[in-house]
Structure formats: structure tokens, C-alpha cells
Copies of this chain bind each other. A is one copy, B any other.
């Protein structure tokens, strides 16, 4: 089933709200676009699976600088290297963004998987072709931040 444009706003508002309230960082939104293949490169990606009456994935992509600054803001102390605390903080940011969007999409009764954080220069996150991933870029003092998500509604017969 095709991706609906109505999905965008919940992820957009959830991301801005998490950055503003949890990290004290004001995001400036740019135009969302359909993510083409091959995937853009990210240094650090937080990734969470959603399942329920719609299923999908949310990916928060951060530069190393944004991950360190964001984790530092969350923990109230400066972070200088990409350690387990920073990894956990990126997972938690992704969790809050996905949770906020999920709350605005309650008709799909989705629940969240645990977050995973992917690191490595030049890694790509590829979505299945039928998920039509949407990318929402934001600008902030820590550089560019993007949220990507793909969501597919489940036909009722598939639900068990």
C-alpha cells in the first residue's frame, strides 16, 4: 500500500518537539522529500521498528557532532567521544521521536521495538521498495539532522 502524505506531520512535529523540549535545540524544518535509492550517507543512525495496524521504521540520522551535542544536552554534561552513553542517548532520542509520532497515529495501534544505533562512515539504511521512505531534513546549530521513515498499512487479513 502506498505511503500517505498525512504520515509526515506526526514525524515532523514529534522531532521538533523532542529536540526543543528534551535537548533545548530549535530545529528549522526544510522540505520533506521522497527518499530515492541509494540511501544518503549518515555517520550515526538511530533506528526503531514500528508494528501494529501499520508497520514501519523510523531512522534518526545525525552527524557525530550532532550526536555528541544532543547526548550532552540530554545528560547535562559535555560528551567528547562516541561512547556507550552517547549511543544510548541517540537510541532514546529516536525512541521519543517514534513514540511521539505513534501517539499522533493512534488509529494504527502501533508499538515500538527497542532502538538500535548504527555507526560507521558511509553506511546506508535501505528500506524495502514498497515502503516509499520519506526524508524530513532539519537544520540546527549542530548541523543537518534528518528523520526518515517508511510506513506501510497492513491489510486487515494479515493481522494476527
Q: Chain A, interface size: which category? A: 35 or more
A125 interfacial by beta-carbon distance below 8 Å: yes
- Asked whether, in the complex, the Cβ of B114 is within 8 Å of the Cβ of A119, the reply is no
Residues A93-146 near B (CB distance < 8 A): 110-129, 131
Contacts of A37 in B (CB 8 A): 84
A102 to chain B, nearest CB (A): 10
CA distance A128 to B128 in the complex (A): 24
A70 interfacial by beta-carbon distance below 8 Å: no
> Which interface residue of A37, A57, A88, A113 has the most chain B CB atoms within 10 A?
A113
Residues A41-87 near B (CB distance < 8 A): 45, 47-52, 55-57, 59, 84, 87
Contacts of A111 in B (CB 8 A): 51-52, 55, 111, 160
> Which interface residue of A91, A110, A111, A129 has the most chain B CB atoms within 10 A?
A111
A152 interfacial by beta-carbon distance below 8 Å: yes
- Asked whether, in the complex, the Cβ of A114 is within 8 Å of the Cβ of B49, the reply is yes
- Asked whether, in the complex, the Cβ of B117 is within 8 Å of the Cβ of A56, the reply is no
Which A residues lie at the B interface, using CB under 8 A? Answer: 37, 45, 47-52, 55-57, 59, 84, 87-88, 91, 110-129, 131, 150, 152, 160
